[in-house]
Amino acid sequence: MIPKQCWIFFSYFFFVPEQCSSVKLNIVEGKMQYLYDDSGRRYLDAFAGIVTVSCGHCHPEILNAITEQSKLLQHATTIYLHHTIGDFAESLAAKMPGNLKVVYFVNSGSEANELAMMMARLYTGSLGMISLRNAYHGGSSSTLGLTALNTWKYPIPEGHVHHVMNPDPYRGAFGADAASYANDVQDHIDYGTSGKVAGFIAETMQGVGGAVELAPGYLKLVYDIIHKAGGVCIADEVQTGFGRTGSHYWGFETQGVIPDIVTMAKGIGNGLPLGAVVTTPEIASVLAQKIQFNTFGGNPVCSAGGLAVLRVLDKEKRQAHCADVGSHLLERLRFLMERHDIIGNVRGRGLMVGIELVTDRDNKTPAKAETAVVFEKLRELGVLVGKGGLHGNVFRIKPPMCFSKDDADFLVDALDYSLSKL
Ligand code: PMP
């Protein structure tokens, strides 16, 4: 039991109001798609520890891999060889297209994006980075510069980042017209830089920003523009990777591009503190000029766990499962739109879904207060979802990938009931 004073301290410093319920649950146990609080109450987890628990809470095979490795060796640092890090890197690189064959292990998504940005700057000799408005790329001091949601931004110096128009088909000024948004990237380069940039970073479906899928064709156009300006293109797969989108293993594949650098975290470890950066040998060579070192990155326990995650996702055919359950969920949610005018938009792919609430569909006025009420109601009914978007009016549904059609039905029924009580 956590002492009460400690609990208040943790609540104050670690819980983010935009994402969390005003009632602080004390979650003490997890099993696949379910979480249990300290009173023994079970919740259906449709948020997976913010898209982190890919295979399921305490998945037995992953637990076993971590436990067996812990019994042998937990840590010796990467100054020594250990076969798990090589095996894991090889398996991860095998999932990558093109020449993305060099893997660095880190401990979080922020660290992965820090490293990717450093590589981009070293490789190109330029400083300027381009990221999308409404993006989240981390909370460390440099990645906060890439993040473009004021909810998360502290007033600290951040330089050399241009936030371009978000190609958001629902709220964006140009709808789903990818070419017009791509022109904005070119404008930033032409008017705001020397003509050269270090790189461009984007999630292929914005996670924290509220499951916003980029206008079709956008990345292809922008990657060309960035390459012409001497920059490299980074895909942030922290939320979209590992088959969650159902149609593809990586989010960037949905836009038909191959990035120069790919960053990942969260789902890669099913809850272990693990992240990775994958790039080409040519780009990676810039790090050879000094020592790139990370004490815990790629330690044997995390590597054994990460390797087990890749194995389980393949063995249990989770990508296909996400496509199947996700399309059922989206279909039911779209049907719900006909019953509740407050649902302005239902979007997503696979098990990465956003439900945006608005007070009127014409003006798309964010229904922030109503979203908060329904969020609480869902929790009372035993369903945990995420909340996001700049206005906190989007439900984020990103459950562990073992989420079933029955779970999806329960979630939609609970949402239907909660909305009817508004
Ligand atoms: N990128 C994306 C897309 C994310 O969603 C997050 C975390 N929400 C991060 C990077 C940062 O990851 P971490 O919290 O592990 O540093």
* Token reading at 190: 């032409």
The owner of tokens 């007033």 is: 155
Question: Is the beta carbon of 265 within 6 A of some atom in ligand 1?
Answer: yes
CA distance 117 to 359: 39
Q: Which of 206, 237, 238 to mutate to test the pocket of ligand 1 (most atoms within 8 A of CB)?
A: 238
Concatenate the DSSP letters of all residues of 327-345 into one string. Answer: HHHHHHHHHHHTT-TTEEE
- Report the distance separating Cα 165 and Cα 134, nearest Å: 9
Category of 246 on φ-ψ map: left (φ > 0), alpha (ψ -120 to 50) or beta: left
pLDDT at 175 over 80: yes
The reply to whether ligand 1 has any atom less than 6 angstroms from the CB of 207 is: yes
Phi, psi of 9, deg, nearest 5 = -60, -50
At 296 the pLDDT is: 94
pLDDT interval class at 189 (50, 70, 90): very high
Which ligand 1 atom lies nearest to the CA of residue 206? 3
pLDDT band, residue 23 (cuts 50/70/90): confident
Beta strands (DSSP E) in 26-96 are: 27-31, 34-37, 42-45
Q: What is the pLDDT of residue 78?
A: 81
- Strand duo 261-264 + 232-236: pairing: parallel
Asked whether the domain spanning 60-316 has the same topology as the one spanning 4-59+319-420, the reply is: no
Q: In the predicted model, is pLDDT for residue 157 greater than 90? A: no
Ligand 1 within 6 A of CB of 263? no
Ligand 1 atom closest to residue 111's alpha carbon, by position in its atom list: 16
What is the average per-residue pLDDT within 326-354?
Answer: 98
pLDDT confidence band for 15 (50 / 70 / 90): very low
Cα(421) to ligand 1 centroid in Å equals 34
pLDDT tens digits along 346-359: 999 999 999 999 99
User: Distance (Å, rounded) from C-alpha 74 to C-alpha 283?
Assistant: 31
**pLDDT tens readout for residues 223-251:** 999 999 999 999 999 999 999 999 999 99
Mutate to test the pocket of ligand 1, among 115, 239, 262, 296 (most ligand atoms within 8 A of CB): 239
pLDDT value, residue 348: 98
Q: Rounded to the nearest 5°, which phi and psi values hold at 34? A: -120, 145
138 lines ligand 1 (CB under 6 A): yes
User: What percent of the chain is modeled with pLDDT above 70?
Assistant: 95
Residue 158 has pLDDT above 90, yes or no: no
- In this prediction, residue 22 has a pLDDT band, given cuts at 50, 70 and 90, of low
Looking at residue 225, its amino acid is: I
Per-residue pLDDT tens digits for 113-123: 999 999 999 99
> Is 202 near ligand 1, meaning CB less than 6 Å away?
no
Q: Is the CB of 238 under 6 A from ligand 1?
A: yes
For the whole prediction, is pTM greater than 0.90?
Answer: yes
Topology, domain 4-59+319-420: Aspartate Aminotransferase, domain 1 (3.90.1150)
Give me the pLDDT at residue 357, please. Answer: 98
Distance of alpha carbon 327 from alpha carbon 334, whole angstroms = 10
**Among 299, 263, 309, 253, CA closest to 283:** 263
Report whether 94 contacts 307 (CB < 8 A). no
Structural fold of domain 60-316: Aspartate Aminotransferase; domain 2 (3.40.640)
52 ligand 1 Cβ < 6 A = no
106 pLDDT band, cuts 50/70/90, is very high
Instruction: Please tell me if the CB atom of residue 108 comes closer than 6 angstroms to any atom of ligand 1.
Output: yes
The yes-or-no verdict on residue 269 having pLDDT over 80 is yes
The finding on whether 137 has its CB within 6 A of some atom of ligand 1 is yes
- Note the pLDDT tens digit of each residue in 294-322: 999 999 999 999 999 999 999 999 999 99
Atom index in ligand 1 nearest the CA of residue 135 equals 3
Q: CB neighbours of 356 closer than 8 A, spacing ≥ 6?
A: 170, 210, 343, 344, 345, 346, 347, 366, 389, 393, 394
Name the residue of 20, 132, 263, 266 to mutate for ligand 1: max ligand atoms within 8 A of Cβ: 266
Identify the burial level of 133 via C-beta atoms within 10 angstroms of its C-beta, where 0-12 means exposed, 13-18 middle and 19 or more buried: middle
Which tens digits make up the pLDDT trace of 53-94?
999 999 999 999 999 999 999 998 788 889 999 999 999 999
**Hey, where are the domains in the chain?**
4-59+319-420, 60-316
Mutate to test the pocket of ligand 1, among 16, 18, 117, 136 (most ligand atoms within 8 A of CB): 136
Q: Quick one: pLDDT band at residue 126, thresholds 50, 70, 90?
A: very high
